[in-house]
Structure 1
Amino acid sequence: MFRFIHTADLHLDAPLKSLALKDEDLSDLVGNATRRALERIVDLCLEEDVDALLVAGDLYDGDMRSMKTAAFLVSQMERLDEAGIAVFMIRGNHDAESVLTRELEFSGNVHVFTGHGGTVELSEKGVAVHGVSFSKPQAPESLLPKYRPPVSGFFNIGLLHTSLAGAAGHDTYAPCSVNDLKSHGFDYWALGHVHIRQVHSEAPYVVMPGMPQGRDVGEAGPKSVTLVTIENGSVTLEERITSQVEFTRESVALDGIEDWRDALDAIDAVIASNAMAPSDHTVLRLELTGETPLAWRLRRDHDLLLEQVSNLARSKGSVWIDKIVHRHTPPSQTVKGEDPRSELGALMARLMEDETFLIRATRDAEDLVGDLPPELRSAFGETEEEQADQISALLKEGVEEIVARMMAGDREETS
């Protein structure tokens, strides 16, 4: 029998992407989440008494410079060494950028494959582990030609960091198809790079384990590693949750709700449903939707709403509020007589369809984004298209909020 944990894309000590993590305790929790995930992976290796840990790239995040992080990583590998657990590791596109990690003095149980590729035979287990690291951050061509043929009579495992034939939100790295991998002759392909878990094939196994810890709401849901057991030629896969923090996006329908307390009750019910998540903590982004007479008040008193909702989350002990997004609108109504505010609101709404206005507004917004600290700019997207979409969404929200505040006068007088 041979058992191993397959993981990838931990991005150890990755910087926070969210602008909303202003709560110091929450920032500390999320900032240390990747370290806790690595500890949990090592704990799982020890608890399950596995033979090996396989890391299919991007264990680190870019050019890691912290000696504290490096020492932490080495200490975790030493825990595995003391238990006699081998570690097989390849570098992905992020690892390849790191200068510090190339100088790390790992314990003897850690084998890091080079860019030339290689094979380690575990004769007593009848297992051969193959791997090829990225030599540079870019890998526009397939790395498959660098892999040796399978070792006859052994169970052959290939470690590969790849985008396969392409994945949404991921650049192309070491491209190849699932059929290319299947035809190579290995019994199990331990992949990395795409952050969503997927078993692409079972004959042979081609497994993308996903990431063990999400970093923002764009990487939502519980995260995990894959525990693999090989016995008498049979292969069993088990998904094991490792994320300490789980990011979630939830909608709260406020249709017809007129009372502030009732709105809080609706929000509280959604928060409570997320308190039972498989991870220890849930970071929740709430999107308020529907037609409600409270629309203008919710926007105007956003700071009060955020504080009250955050208190509701704190009372659950495991839920944190990342952000509240207003997607709701006032009830549709026919305005009697002429109302200059309604006319102005209609004009502002039409501006969002004016190409000249959008070009000018986008240019101004790009200048503002450019003035932000480098670590915050990525919150507006990683590409020109993503940034344009984000700016357009913010403009739309701004128009809706201004119109809601203009129309607030009559409702304040009658409330």
Structure 2
Amino acid sequence: MPTFLHAADLHLDSPLHKLSAYEGAPVDAVRAATRRALGNLVDYAVAEAVPLLLLAGDVYDGDWQDFQTGLHFAARMRELRDAGVRVVLVRGNHDAQSAMTRSLTLPDNVTVLPAGAAGTAVFEDLGIAVHGRSYAVRDESENFVPGYPAPVPGLFNIGLLHTAVAGSQGHAPYAPCRLADLLARGYDYWALGHVHEHKVLHPAPPVVYAGALQGRSVRETGPQGCVRVDVDAAGAARVRHVPLDVMRWAVLDLDVSGAAGLPEACRALDAPLGAALDAAGGLPLAVRLTLAGRCPAHGALAADPERLAAELRARAGELSSGLAWVERVVLRTAPPGEAGSGASGTPLGALDQALALLADDAGAFAALGADFTELASKLRAVPGTDVDLPDLDDPAARRALLDDVRGLLAPLAGGAGEDAP
């Protein structure tokens, strides 16, 4: 019975966010990461003699600056054609028809399923039928699933879809649907894209997000790659995630409780970074660091956050022999001997009280009138920019935004009058 690969969200030639400007960051490796991950995918398909590759949207990150992105993808698809690998893809929100002003003819082993209505690609020799629909415009709000064709009798039926299944918090609700909608079609496997994290939403029949092929920001931590599906003689699908990324992201929490000064605070990086490097298996690693705890060093850390970040970047480079670098440092320390994050009556204490109220009270947060729609629209007009609106109804998303606010303001509030050097 057949084997196939399911991948999504390649975002080919998309920049990896917030790294290339940092001293010591491997700029060339960062810029080439999405292409190298695609190369790993092609090499794996050829080496394993997998006959079919499914791409569930967002092959591209948006309109090309020039034809080089499309030429690179077409060249890789020709490698698959020469190895006998067929490819079926749908367009997602980033590479919707309306988002792409340039196009190239792809090799004849590649089938792009249509926009406007779902289409089907049938591979009789594999015993597979693939049903899918591409995006015509970026902001697709229609539930595509009811319009997908009925299963083809006698074949293994796959639904290919770029979608936000209900409950996909933190992701823009493009082509939204419910898990029940997918299961009602009677397909044997659903190959999903849009959520950049590998997830199995339903085991049998499998409803699966492949995740991104390559993590591109600190929101996409851990191994990234594709899904391999092996179908047995009874028609049951075995799903296995195959890491294919060329670098990793991690978020590390550093406990600096009791640290007397900057050197001691920086040494808190050693054990967490060592564990993260081991988990990355020798791949380059970008890390975001959060320093927390009550310590005498708080005033010095808050007074000079640029030096703190520079010292931590230097230590990360030394500990990893240049394999790890620091994307950002978030400071959540407090001076010793006070209850709460900031002492009552201090600017930091007032900040923490205000943020705690906003985090716990959805109504208070809504009263801020935070609306990112216009900002996101302007940013999306910049080529190569990847923007998804935060889900402000999601408590975790709200708290993450407020944590970022604290990280920006705490050094200003905490550096004045609280154990400052």
**Alpha-carbon distance change, 201 to 390 in structure 1, aligned in 2, over 3 angstroms:** closer
Structure 1 position 181, deviation (Å): 1.6
Aligned residue type for 1:39 = G
**Alpha-carbon distance change, 65 to 283 in structure 1, aligned in 2, over 3 angstroms:** same
Of Structure 1 and Structure 2, which has the larger fraction of its residues in helix? Answer: 1
Other-structure match for 1:314? 317
Match of residue 250, structure 1, among 239, 249, 252? 252
TM-score for the superposition, normalised by structure 2: 0.82
Q: Does residue 1:85 correspond to 2:85, yes or no?
A: yes
**What residue ranges of structure 2 are gaps of 5+ in the alignment?**
356-363
Other-structure match for 1:339? none
Match of residue 289, structure 1, among 282, 288, 292? 292
Structure 1 position 289, deviation (Å): 0.6
Aligned residue type for 2:277 = A
Aligned positions of 1:99-110 closer than 5 A: 99-100=100-101, 103-110=103-110
Work out the CA distance in 1 between the residues paired with 2:160 and 2:351.
Answer: 53
Work out the CA distance in 1 between the residues paired with 2:189 and 2:403.
Answer: 45
1:25-55 per-residue CA deviation (whole Å, 9 max, x = no partner) reads 4444333221121111111111211001100
Other-structure match for 1:269? 271
Match of residue 404, structure 1, among 412, 415, 418? 415
3-state SS of the aligned residue for 2:170?
Answer: coil
Structure 1 position 24, deviation (Å): 6.8
Aligned residue type for 1:69 = T
Other-structure match for 1:338? none
Aligned positions of 1:4-403 closer than 5 A: 4-18=4-18, 21-23=21-23, 25-96=25-96, 97-100=98-101, 103-115=103-115, 116-232=117-233, 233-278=235-280, 280-315=283-318, 316-317=320-321, 318-332=323-337, 346=346, 349-350=349-350, 382=389, 390=401, 393-394=404-405, 397-403=408-414
More deviation in 35-44 or 264-273? Answer: 264-273
Work out the CA distance in 1 between the residues paired with 2:109 and 2:223.
Answer: 30
**Alpha-carbon distance change, 26 to 391 in structure 1, aligned in 2, over 3 angstroms:** farther
**Alpha-carbon distance change, 86 to 399 in structure 1, aligned in 2, over 3 angstroms:** closer
Aligned residue type for 2:405 = L
**Alpha-carbon distance change, 295 to 276 in structure 1, aligned in 2, over 3 angstroms:** same
Could you tell me whether the CA contact under 8 Å between 1:268 and 1:309 is conserved in 2? no
Could you tell me whether the CA contact under 8 Å between 1:64 and 1:98 is conserved in 2? no
Could you tell me whether the CA contact under 8 Å between 1:21 and 1:322 is conserved in 2? no
Aligned residue type for 1:249 = V
Aligned residue type for 1:133 = S
Work out the CA distance in 1 between the residues paired with 2:198 and 2:270.
Answer: 31
Aligned residue type for 1:394 = V
Structure 1 position 354, deviation (Å): 7.8
Other-structure match for 1:337? none
TM-score for the superposition, normalised by structure 1: 0.83
What percentage of residue pairs aligned between the two structures are identical? 33
Work out the CA distance in 1 between the residues paired with 2:259 and 2:294.
Answer: 8
Structure 1 position 270, deviation (Å): 1.7
1:352-404 per-residue CA deviation (whole Å, 9 max, x = no partner) reads 7689xx99xx99xx9xx99x98869x899845967998578536753554443
Count the aligned residue pairs: 391
Could you tell me whether the CA contact under 8 Å between 2:42 and 2:80 is conserved in 1? yes
Q: CA RMSD in A?
A: 3.4
1:179-203 per-residue CA deviation (whole Å, 9 max, x = no partner) reads 2222212111111112222112232
